[in-house]
Amino acid sequence: MKWETVIGLEVHAELSTKSKIFCSCTTAYGGEPNTHVCPVCAGIPGALPVLNREVVEYALRLGLALNCSITRQCKFDRKNYFYPDLPKAYQVSQLYTPICRDGYLEIDVNGRNRKIRIREIHMEEDAGKLNHSSHGSLMDFNRCGVPLLEIVTHPDFINEDAANAAAEVTACLEKLRETLLYLDICDCKMQEGSMRADINLSVRRPGEDPGVRTETKNMNSFKAIGRAIEYEIGRQTEILEDGGKIVQETRRWDDDRGTSYGMRSKENAQDYRYFPEPDLLPINISGDWIAQVKENLPELAFQKRERYMRDYGISADEASVLTCHKNISGLFETLAQKSGAVFAANAASSANAAVESAHLVSGEIMRLIKNANILPEDLNISTDKLVTLIGFVTGGKINRASYKETVEAVFTNNVNPENYIADKGLMMVSDDKAVTEAVEKIIAKNQDSAAEYRAGKEKIFGFLMGMVMKELGKGGNPELAKKILSIKLKEANYEKS
């Protein structure tokens, strides 16, 4: 009989506010250890916290984007535990009144649409970092007090197939990531820990009550998360099939070894002795504030995808590449708009400008980004130069191969496209005389092939075209060459010569 996997997620997103949640220290990543600290975030007794309003604003943005209801009167709670990365020995968090509740997000995996319910989103502060060495462990409190949103889903990922379970979780995290990025509230750098996902996973027979779950932490890429899920399903299934019992615990994923190991048995809420935070006032969120945040929500990635498909006739696949990052869709939209103006001046339709820009960004630009191993957020390319090139290729000034070559030169060396094209002789030879000469030369040299073509072997055309294009060099105009070659091949005098 089959096993069924049940998964629920707890995702931490570090907010990109300028200052920390309860003090004015910077949230900047890195820095010399213990240089981004003050008495409040270092937990000096008697120092009092003051809530950063921006954190609430960011929580509202995410909650509204994820269809949550907002807790108009909420407060903070203390979660007590002793660990060296937590100087106060408690974390300020929200247990009883999370700021957002009962939302959902939708994912599409293998053609199947799923609604994943969000149980809650709450605000809390991050802890510090322990640096272990052979001499002992050193504390860095720079991350203490960096604001976090914790997003908790219901255990709605239910699958019999392990690969499917991993695919659904990854799709959900992708969607969360793009939402956080488009809302401009988190940079989602998994390597730097600014987006972290904990995987709660249990296995059961279909129809039975949920089994005992484990929580796996420490994955720093989507790929690692997928691997960790498949590993944990295998591990739990094996134990259960051998008649064993799953221990409820927190496990740490080791991506190099492709395994996880138990870190600690999982605490229950009562072990933390939560109680209302006495040093902070309750937060009253006005209806006006909520309305204002709602009104100012930016267009999200999935909404952009739908618009691109609807308004420009762009395919679903291409639309999803274009919205993989805010900078990529931003680049696309700028190009479409600017080249639209160029096209309009040329009396071509603006829909073509968008399609042409979409092909450029989702194809060549994405390939260059990948090869150069840079992140979309670090992409810096002149849109004016790209618009010039889009104008050239669609206006018949350069061919597709030269277009590609020049785009790459702009990407890598920021060349001036006009100069580059002139220097490399890429301007298309659109002079009938030059093309006719090249065609005649090739036909004269390949009379047997020309005769075969005329005898009905149409495939030969491609071969002759290749020779003509080679003869014309990089500036060859394929359309013109094709036209003249077909005319010349049909001309009777060649048959006789």
Q: Interface with ligand ADP by CB under 6 A: which residues?
A: 6-10, 152-155, 200-202, 210, 213, 269
173 binds, among Zn ion, ligand ADP, none (CB under 5 to 8 A by kind): none
Q: Report how far apart, in Å, the C-alpha atoms of 22 and of each of 39, 200, 206, 257, 449 are.
A: 11, 30, 46, 39, 81
How close are the terminal C-alpha atoms of the chain, in Å?
Answer: 79
CB of 200 or CB of 394, closer to ligand ADP: 200
- The CA distance from 12 to 442, in Å, is 66
- The CA distance from 400 to 410, in Å, is 15
Residue 240 engages Zn ion in binding (rule: CB under 5 A): no
Beta carbons of 204 and 3 less than 8 angstroms apart: yes
- The CA distance from 287 to 486, in Å, is 72
Beta carbons of 193 and 11 less than 8 angstroms apart: no
User: At its nearest, how many Å lie between Zn ion and the CB of residue 40?
Assistant: 5
Residue 127 engages Zn ion in binding (rule: CB under 5 A): no
Place of tokens 């914790």: 150
User: At its nearest, how many Å lie between ligand ADP and the CB of residue 280?
Assistant: 22
CB of 40 or CB of 203, closer to Zn ion: 40
Q: Report how far apart, in Å, the C-alpha atoms of 333 and of each of 46, 184, 204, 377, 395 are.
A: 52, 18, 47, 16, 21
User: At its nearest, how many Å lie between Zn ion and the CB of residue 36?
Assistant: 7
- The CA distance from 491 to 406, in Å, is 37
Secondary structure in 3-state letters for 219-263: CCCHHHHHHHHHHHHHHHHHHHHCCCCCCCEEEEEECCCCEEEEE
Beta carbons of 156 and 105 less than 8 angstroms apart: no
- The CA distance from 336 to 383, in Å, is 10
Place of tokens 């960011």: 58
What residues contact 494, with CB distance under 8 A and at least 6 apart?
A: 443, 447, 450, 488
CB of 269 or CB of 455, closer to ligand ADP: 269
Beta carbons of 424 and 403 less than 8 angstroms apart: no
CB of 24 or CB of 292, closer to Zn ion: 24
CB of 38 or CB of 51, closer to Zn ion: 38
- The CA distance from 56 to 284, in Å, is 10
User: Residue 45 in 3-state DSSP?
Assistant: coil
Q: What is the DSSP string of 317-341?
A: HHHHHHTSSHHHHHHHHHHHHHHHH
User: At its nearest, how many Å lie between ligand ADP and the CB of residue 174?
Assistant: 18
475 binds, among Zn ion, ligand ADP, none (CB under 5 to 8 A by kind): none
User: Where is 153: in which H helix or E strand?
Assistant: strand 147-153
- The CA distance from 79 to 270, in Å, is 10
CB of 7 or CB of 173, closer to ligand ADP: 7
User: At its nearest, how many Å lie between Zn ion and the CB of residue 49?
Assistant: 9
Specify the stretch interacting with Zn ion by CB under 5 A; choose among 22-30, 195-203, 371-379, 384-392: 22-30
Taking CB atoms, the residue at the shortest distance from ligand ADP is 8
User: At its nearest, how many Å lie between ligand ADP and the CB of residue 248?
Assistant: 8
269 binds, among Zn ion, ligand ADP, none (CB under 5 to 8 A by kind): ligand ADP
Q: What residue ranges in 241-338 does DSSP mark as E strands?
A: 249-254, 259-265, 275-276, 283-284
322 binds, among ligand ADP, Zn ion, none (CB under 5 to 8 A by kind): none
User: At its nearest, how many Å lie between Zn ion and the CB of residue 27?
Assistant: 10
User: At its nearest, how many Å lie between Zn ion and the CB of residue 194?
Assistant: 18
- Contacts of Zn ion in 24-83 (CB under 5 A): 25, 38, 40-41
7 binds, among ligand ADP, Zn ion, none (CB under 5 to 8 A by kind): ligand ADP
367 binds, among ligand ADP, Zn ion, none (CB under 5 to 8 A by kind): none
154 binds, among Zn ion, ligand ADP, none (CB under 5 to 8 A by kind): ligand ADP
CB of 222 or CB of 463, closer to ligand ADP: 222
CB of 213 or CB of 305, closer to ligand ADP: 213
Site for Zn ion (CB under 5 A): how many residues? 5
- The CA distance from 98 to 48, in Å, is 22
User: At its nearest, how many Å lie between ligand ADP and the CB of residue 272?
Assistant: 9
CB of 25 or CB of 225, closer to Zn ion: 25
CB of 41 or CB of 365, closer to Zn ion: 41
41 binds, among ligand ADP, Zn ion, none (CB under 5 to 8 A by kind): Zn ion
Residues within the interface to Zn ion (CB under 5 A): 23, 25, 38, 40-41
